[in-house]
Amino acid sequence: MLVLASSSPRRRELLARIGAAPGRIASPDIDETPLKAERPRAYALRLAREKARAVDRHDGEIVLAGDTTVALGRRILPPAESEDVQRRLLELLSGRRHTCISAVCAIDAAGHERLRVAETVVAFKRLTAAEIAAYVASGEGLGKAGGYAIQGRAEALIRFISGSHSGVVGLPLFETRALLAASGYPLG
């Protein structure tokens, strides 16, 4: 049985695209504060691993956890916990390239951990104040890494993407499928 260590409905939807259906959902409770001088890739990998380890795994279960981190250079951008934070994030990302790092950890039935990561470069068009205000008013990016959801209205503001679209949404499907297959989860 597959256990998804995430309460994200997007991750469940993405898993369904590859024919994986969690038998159980468990929301891990971990401290997501970056460590001093921690780089974005190391941060995303650490969080994916800690989320997978934070969930009780019963006999025969495979635990899957992921983390998506938005980085501007070496700077880890926070999730948009308020409209003010979201506005500042969008102003930072306007007209610039940034990286979405999506790490995935699977712990198989024998307790072996496997990690994969996808890095995707994303560039917003130069956003006007009106575009930022309209996007913030939509409420779509609240709580999201970097302050936006690529699977919604923000996609029309992105001029360039190189890498895993599903990774930016929250779970890189190519890497996830490989992890699940290596962990013994039956995929069609």
Over range 15-25, report the average pLDDT.
95
40 and 101 Cβ atoms separated by less than 8 Å: yes
Check: CB of residue 57 under 8 Å from CB of residue 89: no
Give the DSSP letter of residue 171: -
Assess whether pLDDT exceeds 80 at residue 157: yes
Given this model, what pLDDT does residue 3 score? 97
Give yes or no for residue 188 having a pLDDT over 90.
Answer: no
The answer, yes or no, to whether residue 176 has pLDDT greater than 80, is yes
Q: Quick one: pLDDT at residue 187?
A: 86
Confidence class for position 127, pLDDT limits 50, 70, 90: very high
Taking residues 160-170, what's their average pLDDT? 97
Q: If you average pLDDT over every residue of the chain, what do you get?
A: 96
56 is catalytic: no
DSSP state of 180: H
Contact in structure between 171 and 104 (CB atoms under 8 Å) = yes
Give the pLDDT confidence score for residue 79 in this predicted structure: 93
Task: Please give the pLDDT value at position 37.
Answer: 94
Q: Which residues contact 173 (CB under 8 A, 6 or more apart)?
A: 14, 17, 18, 164, 166
The mean pLDDT value for 177-185 works out to 96
What digits encode the pLDDT tens for the residues 56-102? 999 999 999 999 999 999 999 999 999 999 999 999 999 999 999 99
Q: What's the pLDDT score for residue 19? A: 94
State the catalytic residue, choosing from 29, 31, 56, 67.
Answer: 67
- Going along the chain, which residue ranges are E strands? 2-4, 24-25, 62-72, 75-77, 97-107, 113-124, 158-162
pLDDT band at 124 (very low <50, low <70, confident <90, very high): very high
Percent of the chain at pLDDT > 90 equals 97
User: Residues of the chain with pLDDT > 70: what percent?
Assistant: 99
pLDDT given for residue 45 in this prediction: 98
